[in-house]
């Protein structure tokens, strides 16, 4: 079994406010065929995705409703899957 975990951390600054937020994405690929992704905002899971069922599961009410729902179920989600599949294809070659 091959497991790949990639951690991406970025700080988000909202307008002129001095608040700092941390966004963390964890990607796990097992045997380079399937992957899962969990997005964390300030240490709390806000969204998860599995390529197995191609289902995005919002973890917070604000992600299930309104703007969050339409954003994560848009073309951006499909692009993320395409990008991740390309990365797992690279791992198959090594």
- What are the extents of the domains in the chain? 3-93
Is the per-residue pLDDT at 11 higher than 50?
Answer: no
Nearest-angstrom CA–CA distance, 50 and 26 = 12
pLDDT score for 89: 61
Query: 52-58 long-range CB contacts below 8 Å, 24 or more apart?
Result: 54/81
Is the per-residue pLDDT at 16 higher than 80?
Answer: no
- Model pLDDT for residues 33-78, shown as the tens digit of each residue: 677 888 888 888 888 878 777 777 777 777 767 665 566 566 556 6
């Amino acid at each position: 079994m091959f497991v790949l975990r990639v951690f991406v951390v970025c700080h988000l600054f909202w307008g002129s406010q001095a608040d700092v937020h941390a966004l963390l994405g964890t990607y796990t690929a097992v045997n380079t065929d399937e992957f899962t992704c969990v997005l964390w905002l300030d240490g709390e899971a806000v969204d998860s995705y599995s390529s197995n069922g191609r289902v995005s599961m919002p973890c917070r009410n604000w992600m299930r409703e309104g703007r969050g729902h339409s954003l994560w179920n848009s073309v951006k989600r499909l692009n993320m899957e395409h990008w991740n599949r390309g990365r797992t294809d690279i791992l198959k070659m090594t």
